[in-house]
Amino acid sequence: MRRHQPGSRTLQLATLTVVVLLTTLTACSRGNEETLTTPKPGFCEAAQRYDERVERGAKLAEQITILEKLERNAPKDVADDAELFLDQMRAYQAATKSERRELQDDPDVARAIENVNRRAINGCEFFESEPGDGS
């Protein structure tokens, strides 16, 4: 006859509960991604253009112009984030050097930028078909 150590049944139950919870959360998060609407073409075009131009050293004024288009076309789920991103870039443009340092360290803006980037990557299908891959 197998003997259980005290508390082992509790540990097994807790482990099973965690596994079920993680499985449920994973399934729910996948469902949420599928319910997001496809962003307007203007959002995707602006997101891709912004990425390309920043890599090539675009001036701040050009970045703001691109972000204005992105913000106008942003899906509802990231509209506030896109607006915060644009507002912060405008503030950065008008700021002194010392004020710019403070603006760069704003965690709310960092989160907003991450949300906009994530939405562009997940909604715009940038990586679905690359030029020359036969798609």
- Residue 35 confidence (pLDDT): 74
Average pLDDT over residues 48-54: 96
Determine the Cα–Cα distance for residues 5 and 39; give it in Å rounded to an integer. 56
Nearest to 65 by CA among 38, 45, 39: 45
Determine the Cα–Cα distance for residues 110 and 39; give it in Å rounded to an integer. 21
The answer for residues whose C-beta is within 8 angstroms of residue 53's C-beta and 6 or more apart is: 62, 63, 66
| 100 touches 92 (CB < 8 A) | yes
Average pLDDT over residues 19-39: 53
Average pLDDT over residues 15-42: 56
- Residue 102 confidence (pLDDT): 87
Q: Which stretches within the chain are classed as H helix?
A: 8-35, 41-55, 60-72, 79-94, 97-104, 107-123
pLDDT beyond 80 at 59: yes
pLDDT beyond 70 at 85: yes
Burial of 51 (0-12, 13-18, 19+ CB in 10 A): middle
Domain parsing of the chain, residue ranges: 41-123
Burial of 8 (0-12, 13-18, 19+ CB in 10 A): exposed
Determine the Cα–Cα distance for residues 73 and 124; give it in Å rounded to an integer. 12
Say if pTM beats, i.e. exceeds, 0.75.
Answer: no
